[in-house]
A and B are shown apart, each in its own frame.
Chain A
């Protein structure tokens, strides 16, 4: 287990550098001059342009720029935007909003998705099973912005159950956007859980457990369930990161000031440091959540532990 963990932790290093470098290079290669974009129509004096280019290391070759950026990162310095805002300040303001939204969406996904999947899998072919299959197909096939607007219209405007947009009403404001954000993942989680459980209930070792005279509750709960959850946990872990990063559309629909909106604005303004800063933070969240999954995975499946 210790060796597995050590190896897994070492893997973080190339992933971190690889991912951040790719993002940095992508932003670097966006056509157009960010300094000129900053100034708009008025031409800037050559000396000012020169000073700004120097301050942001824009004349260095890509590897040097990247190295300087990473060096700053390790001192806790995410850099400044071209307009002089501290990127770390932006992260401090925006990230908690997105994390709250993402975690609530994740909670909805795990609780409802797993429950629906388990019930459907245990009663294969029943009305409930068919309901889960049809409704998840429905949710998966509808674009998220359509789902968002319909939810706003029905639950927010027509019935007035939940706030339509913004964050003025505290945590209740997060419920509707989190439901929309988590809906597609929820559908996938439910289907995956169902399929995995159905498959495992047919497995030989489940038949063995029955032949051992174990009560049905134990056969399902201790034997089939733990095996069924292995693929589900993998999916959930990767999805946790995706929920954080994938909130851009949802934050737009519900007018939520999270990182999604910030990054959208920053890309348009060619604010490289903001984009790279936010995405780097997302990469770290992603790395952390997959690490968590891999640890949980090794706990669930001994075959991984002793590889």
Chain B
């Protein structure tokens, strides 16, 4: 049976806890001098305790913007959330007063950014920056703040944490800096951590260490984790479910195993095929032809049709809703059955 796109998102992964976050029909646009850029066009997802959601997409797919909307750190102007709800434990963050919202930021929902070198303030020591969380949100003294910072740095496995508390960001390696960011996000024991491309700026070996660390910390704290990435390979082992985004919309979502083994949307299929694989060594790379559309000028019908090998007449006019493909699994493709049958 196929149904039209529903505002409520997919059910929880088995074995997870309470519903933490429910994003429904979120729209974000940027009003620029050259016109309106529709960065996020009605995405929905849910996140539960102990659950890891991977949001997958190319740059310009709206994945980072949707996370920034959840954090409430989009610059207005030019960015506006024009529609939708972001419910944290049932309360809509978008209708909250700024002061209430600020209390959620950092304390209940924390964020880790891609490039820790620029995301940390270069003129303050890392300990100062972690301690700031306790000093501002908890009114702790400087001394207590630094002590807790050292504890946290130890917890994210920074060697000789006590001695390094007063060091500055530029004195750490890339991987250690990202650990500092993680420590900072972890400081007030948040329910949710959103990690925006946390490993993109790092070496492959360090990437795995950081992903391991995040998933260990998640087991310890029971927090919900949102991983934003363009590389499914990085998150395949730790994620429970995946949202694939294209042109500001969710095109496919479901449990990570299902999508990893057999995609139900031509775009996710293309993404999978473009991952270089060891067992195909010496073979050709398979990029998705064409480029993602400009978000100021999204094609009519299915936004992926100009690049889609399955595209027909109907795709240029009718926007596909999210069809139920399987339990807890949806695809926004008119021909999802064909894509699924095609295998990959």
Q: Which residue numbers of A lie inside 8 Å of B, CB to CB? A: 203-205, 207-215, 218, 223, 226-227, 300-303, 306
Report the minimum CB–CB distance from B62 to chain A (whole Å).
Answer: 17
* Cβ–Cβ contact A213 & B137, under 8 A: yes
* Cβ–Cβ contact A212 & B118, under 8 A: no
* Cβ contacts A to B, 7 pairs, < 8 Å: A204-B119, A205-B118, A208-B120, A211-B73, A213-B137, A302-B170, A303-B168
Q: How far is the CA of A301 from the CA of B124 in the complex (A)?
A: 9
Chain A residues whose CB sits within 8 angstroms of the CB of B106 once the complex forms: 211-214
* Cβ–Cβ contact A303 & B103, under 8 A: no
* Cβ–Cβ contact A209 & B123, under 8 A: no
* Cβ–Cβ contact B122 & A212, under 8 A: no
Report the minimum CB–CB distance from A232 to chain B (whole Å).
Answer: 14
Any chain A CB within 8 A of the CB of B184?
Answer: yes
* Cβ–Cβ contact B111 & A211, under 8 A: yes
* Cβ–Cβ contact B118 & A204, under 8 A: yes
Any chain A CB within 8 A of the CB of B336?
Answer: no
The residue that B184 contacts in the complex, of A210, A212, A303, with Cβ under 8 A, is A212
Q: How far is the CA of A210 from the CA of B121 in the complex (A)?
A: 12
Closest residue of chain B to A213 (Cβ to Cβ) is B106
Chain A residues whose CB sits within 8 angstroms of the CB of B115 once the complex forms: 204
The residue that A209 contacts in the complex, of B118, B121, B122, B170, with Cβ under 8 A, is B121
Chain B residues whose CB sits within 8 angstroms of the CB of A214 once the complex forms: 106, 132, 136
Any chain A CB within 8 A of the CB of B322?
Answer: no
Query: B interface, how many residues as a size bin?
Result: 20 to 34
Q: How far is the CA of A208 from the CA of B181 in the complex (A)?
A: 9
Beyond contacts A208-B181, A215-B136: 11 other A-B pairs, Cβ-Cβ < 8 A, are A203-B118, A204-B115, A205-B122, A209-B121, A211-B113, A212-B136, A213-B104, A213-B105, A214-B136, A302-B123, A303-B170
Q: How far is the CA of A226 from the CA of B129 in the complex (A)?
A: 14
Chain A residues whose CB sits within 8 angstroms of the CB of B123 once the complex forms: 226-227, 300-302
Report the minimum CB–CB distance from B38 to chain A (whole Å).
Answer: 22
The residue that A213 contacts in the complex, of B107, B118, B119, B121, with Cβ under 8 A, is B107
Closest residue of chain A to B187 (Cβ to Cβ) is A212
The residue that B71 contacts in the complex, of A203, A205, A211, with Cβ under 8 A, is A211
Most A CB within 10 A of own CB, among B110, B115, B136: B136
Any chain A CB within 8 A of the CB of B133?
Answer: yes
Interface string of B297-310 (1 = CB under 8 A from A): 00000000000000
Any chain A CB within 8 A of the CB of B171?
Answer: yes
Q: How far is the CA of A203 from the CA of B123 in the complex (A)?
A: 13
Chain B residues whose CB sits within 8 angstroms of the CB of A211 once the complex forms: 71, 73, 105-106, 110-111, 113
Chain A residues whose CB sits within 8 angstroms of the CB of B121 once the complex forms: 205, 208-209, 223, 227
Chain A residues whose CB sits within 8 angstroms of the CB of B73 once the complex forms: 207, 210-211
Report the minimum CB–CB distance from B83 to chain A (whole Å).
Answer: 23
The residue that B105 contacts in the complex, of A203, A212, A300, with Cβ under 8 A, is A212
* Cβ–Cβ contact A207 & B119, under 8 A: yes
Q: How far is the CA of A248 from the CA of B119 in the complex (A)?
A: 47
Chain B residues whose CB sits within 8 angstroms of the CB of A306 once the complex forms: 168, 170-171
Q: How far is the CA of A205 from the CA of B136 in the complex (A)?
A: 17
Chain A residues whose CB sits within 8 angstroms of the CB of B105 once the complex forms: 210-213
Q: How far is the CA of A44 from the CA of B110 in the complex (A)?
A: 88
Report the minimum CB–CB distance from A126 to chain B (whole Å).
Answer: 13
